[in-house]
Amino acid sequence: MFAPVHTRPFRVVLQWQAITTVAIALLAGLWVGWNGAWSALLGGAVSVVAGIAFAATLGLSLGDGRPAGPVKPLRAMLRAEAAKVIAIVVGLALVLKTVDGIVHAAFFSAFIVAVIVYSMAFFVGEQEPGKQGDG
């Protein structure tokens, strides 16, 4: 089975999301205290979970990763994107409905930055920087 979760771009982007989320949480913690830090961590977590849902759905939809034509990968991408949107909507609703004392500015700032960072996966190559390919 093809597993996008194990690819270098996905791993790098998850690390970037974690780093930016923690940085925003530290700033929010200094700004408004524990509630701000917790809110930022939850905002980043919503985006991270949505990214994992995307990658897992894509992997399951593609199967062996060798589609015979253009229809299977397109369907897989649409399913994966739908899973990501559903995870975002459910995650945002769950946090906003159940967490008392949420600091909206910290929560949405971390969420938006994590979403933007996720889109940077396009620019991450499969090979480690400085390593040569097979030729």
Residue type, 21: T
The SS3 of residue 7 is coil
Q: Which DSSP letter does residue 5 get?
A: G
The residues spanned by each domain of the chain are: 8-123
Has residue 135 got a pLDDT over 60?
no
Burial of 1 (0-12, 13-18, 19+ CB in 10 A): exposed
CA distance linking residue 42 with residue 21, whole number of Å: 9
Confidence band of 128 (pLDDT split at 50, 70, 90): low
How does pLDDT run across 27-45, given as a tens digit for each residue?
Answer: 999 999 999 999 999 999 9
Confidence band, pLDDT 50/70/90 cuts, at residue 99? very high
Q: Which of 53, 38, 74 is nearest to 4 (CA)?
A: 53
CA dihedral 26, 28, 34, 40 (to 10 degrees): -90
Q: What is the pLDDT of residue 13?
A: 82
Determine the average pLDDT of the residues in 51-58. 89
Please say if the pLDDT value at position 65 is more than 80. Answer: no
Cα-based torsion angle of the residue sequence 14, 19, 21, 27 in order, rounded to the nearest 10 degrees: 180
